[in-house]
Amino acid sequence: MPDRILGHLKLLDGDFGGFAIDRLQHSLQTATRAHRDGRGENYVVMALLHDIGDTLGSYNHPEIAAAILRPFVSEELHWIADKHGAFQGYYFFHHLGLDREVREGFRGHPHFEACAEFCERYDQAAFDPTYESAPLAFFEPMVRRVFAKPLNSIYARAPEAA
Ligand SMILES: [Fe+2]
Ligand SMILES: [Fe+2]
């Protein structure tokens, strides 16, 4: 599974979608910014994968990253991945004639601030073509560790009764 995830991330190479840097560089920059800001490994891997669904789910890409991450990360990190699209909208929806305040529909949710922070500090900041991101190889060991064992899954054996 980690090999397929790393392979799929590489499909984002050359996918510019109207931005100054391609989706792979954007993903690396998001993860690098989170790592250099002292975020933990699971957070950094979530940041690396947050747009991995772009190639298959052009209209709902956050849900794809969220589904892949769900068994392996906390509820908060899953929620950030799942909802980052609505929160990212704050930074550009108004340029497309859309409502930049759609994230307000989640105001009051326990993970609202965490998701807003992810988008403000890392995601929307990660389109800088002059930023020196770490290469994918730097994150590979982290991806392998995070995806080594699910925290929760209907396919995982139930813990032994104590
Ligand atoms: Fe995204
Ligand atoms: Fe993004």
| pLDDT digit string, tens, across residues 107-138 | 999 999 999 999 999 999 999 999 999 999 99
- Using the mean position of ligand 1's atoms as its centre, give its distance from the Cα of residue 63 in Å: 10
Asked whether the beta carbons of 53 and 46 are under 8 A apart, the reply is: no
The string of pLDDT tens digits covering residues 50-102 is 999 999 998 999 999 999 999 999 999 999 999 999 999 999 999 999 999 99
Question: What sign does the dihedral 21-25-31-37 (CA atoms) show?
Answer: negative
In this prediction the pTM is 0.93
Ligand index nearest the alpha carbon of residue 54 = 1
- Using the mean position of ligand 1's atoms as its centre, give its distance from the Cα of residue 27 in Å: 9
Asked whether the beta carbons of 143 and 45 are under 8 A apart, the reply is: yes
Neighbour-count burial for 10-32, b at 16+ CB within 10 Å, e otherwise: eebeeeeeeeebebbbbbbbbbb
Asked whether the beta carbons of 16 and 41 are under 8 A apart, the reply is: no
- Using the mean position of ligand 2's atoms as its centre, give its distance from the Cα of residue 154 in Å: 29
- Using the mean position of ligand 2's atoms as its centre, give its distance from the Cα of residue 51 in Å: 5
Q: Give domain 2-146's CATH architecture.
A: Orthogonal Bundle (1.10)
- Using the mean position of ligand 2's atoms as its centre, give its distance from the Cα of residue 81 in Å: 10
Ligand index nearest the alpha carbon of residue 26 = 2
Cα 123 versus chain centre, distance: 8
Asked whether the beta carbons of 89 and 102 are under 8 A apart, the reply is: yes
Q: Up-side HSE of residue 18: CA atoms within 13 Å toward CB?
A: 2
Ligand index nearest the alpha carbon of residue 60 = 1
